[in-house]
Structure formats: structure tokens, C-alpha cells
Amino acid sequence: MSTEVKLADDRLDYSLEDLLASGDFAEPLIAGGVRCHGGFDADGVYGSPRVLHRKPAIQAWQRALQAQGHELLEISSDLMPPQYPSVDQAVLLCRNGVREPVVRALTIISVVEGFGAIIRDVKMPDLESIVVEPFHGTALAHLAGGLFEAHARDEAGWGDEGGHKQMWEAARDLAFESPEIPDDVLMRIMGGPGGRGRPRKRGFPQIDETFERMVGLMSNVLIVELFAEEVFRWGKAVLANPEISAEPEQASAMVGYIESDENPHVEYLRTALSEVAARNLRTSDGAILSGREVVHGTLHSMLRQITRQRPEEQRAQVRENMAKLFTQAENPSALREEFESLEQPWSPPPHTGFEPQLPDSG
């Protein structure tokens, strides 16, 4: 049975059960001894979980939005920072017996995937009192009715079924034969530059705070999901290298399965945010504010921050213990010199594509 329903109509309303349905698989996906979500058809082709109705639903909501004359949000791939260390640097380190930075990076990715389950706990605002125009039959109307829950299950698993967290762990363990995991990974994540709580300055204090928080979280997750494209490219290239990977085909294929699962996440988030941008919002004092101003303003602020801070933070975290790690190599100074020669400078583009519109001077 197909894991995706091919619908000829444009049905716009779906139940929770619809959006969580996966269909049948000929063979399950077993990763690291754990039964994970998704599975394989009779031809051995991997199928993602919970897309039987979810994927056609998202496509229908997108068509409906565009038929009304509105555009879907597009975040330029030029804004995507490169992964650090680069593929060439990661392979060089592993080839010289310095695997810790790569093992650490893969472990961090798996832990962060597990954190993705928090999206099911998003506090939902009273959309009816905030959104001016009707929004029934939209992705926005289905966030609490299955889309957030499906996303959470994809990332962290559900019940006895593993998700992306377990799949990344399996990819790491296949490639590096169950390596020793740095015992400070979680502490580093929680205590890093972005891990400590900071006073949050509201960008749009005139609207309902719960609504603003929801839009902010969705925008942040959308950016993370889009930028994960670079993580997948890096992961597949590193783990597929037979010089350093014990199971190059299986390990890189596992990353590919995760990558295919992420498409519905990107698409429902950008659809729902596009739907907000196409509508007007009631402020707390009864005035009207353009949803476009809120969504574009939020994305602009986040993209400027992430594209400037993330590369620096990632590089600093990787290089923190490099001097000590280089001593594990046969020729530490030669390894350091070659590693440095593979540095790839990157600067974020000057524009995000979501800059605030200036008032018409005419």
C-alpha cells in the first residue's frame, strides 16, 4: 500500500487520525536494534511515516493559498551556513584517528532532533479572536489538530517506535562502530551560547503574546529545518566515505531516510506562516496589523541573528578542544596545518529577503 494518498480533489479538512496515518509497509526500518518509524515497500524503497494524508493535505493547502493570489514564503539557500568542520576537514580528522569532533557533531544532531518533540507543547492562542479573515481549511487551522503532533513523533519517536533521534544515533554507530560518546555533550548543548535563558524582547508587543510566541517558534523551527539541508549533505558525504566509515552505504542511507522525512515539516510550517502573512491580525487594543509585517519581521530578525551567530558558535565549539585532540595524531603539527588549509570562509548575504518595507514616500 502506498504511504501517500494520491488525491484528485482538493480536500482541505483533515482529522487528527488522518494526519497521523502512515499506511502499510512491507518491511520495517530497524535502526540500531530499534524499530523506527517509516519502512520499505515491496521494492525496498523507503517510505516516510505519517504522510498518507499529511503530504496531500499540505499540497492542497498550498494550492488553495496560491489560488487566492498569495505566495508561499521562500527562504534563500544562500543564507544557509556551511557545516563545520567541513566534509574534507571531517574526513581528514577521522583518517588521522581524531574522530571525537565528528562523533560529537553527530551526537549533538541526534540530541537536538529529540528536542524537536517540544513542538507538541506549543501553547495555542485563540486564533479566532486574532486572525481577521477566515482560516478554516488551512494548515494554520490544523496545527493543533495533528501537524504539531506528527512533527513531534517524527523527531523523537512515539511509544516503542524510534524517530530521527534514534536514526541519527544508528547512523553514527554504523559508521564508527558504536564509538565512545563524549560525556559532556548534553551539558555543552544546554550551557552553550544559545542554551541559557535570556530576557526576550518582543518584536510585536501590540499583538497577543501567545500568538507571537507561536509564530516565533514556528519561524525558528522552519529556519532550522531548512538549514538542515546542509547538515544532511554533510552527514551523507562524511558517513559514505569508505576510508573512515565502517558501513558507508547503510550509514549514509539512514541519513537519507531522515532527510526525506523532513520535507513535510518544512512545507507545513512555511504554508501556515504564509497563511498568517496573507491575513490581518487584531491587536490587543482592537487595531489591525498586517500578518505579513509580523511574519516577515520575525523571519528577518531570526535570519540575521542565526546567519551571523551560528557559524561562529559552531566553529568555537568544535575548536575548543582541538589542540588536545590533535595530539592523538601521529604528526599533530602537520595535521593542524592541513586542517587549517581546508578552512572555507563564509559570510552571510547582506539581505535576508524579509526586510521591513519602507513607507511609500509618494
Residue-wise pLDDT tens digits, 38-74? 999 999 999 999 999 999 999 999 999 999 999 999 9
What's the pLDDT at 19?
98
Q: Which of 55, 45, 73, 53 is nearest to 226 (CA)?
A: 73
Q: Average model confidence (pLDDT) for the chain?
A: 93
Q: What is the mean pLDDT of residues 299-325?
A: 90
What's the pLDDT at 331?
93
Segment 143-162, tens digit of pLDDT:
999 999 999 999 999 999 99
Global pTM value: 0.92
CA dihedral of 122, 126, 132, 133, whole degrees rounded to 10: 70
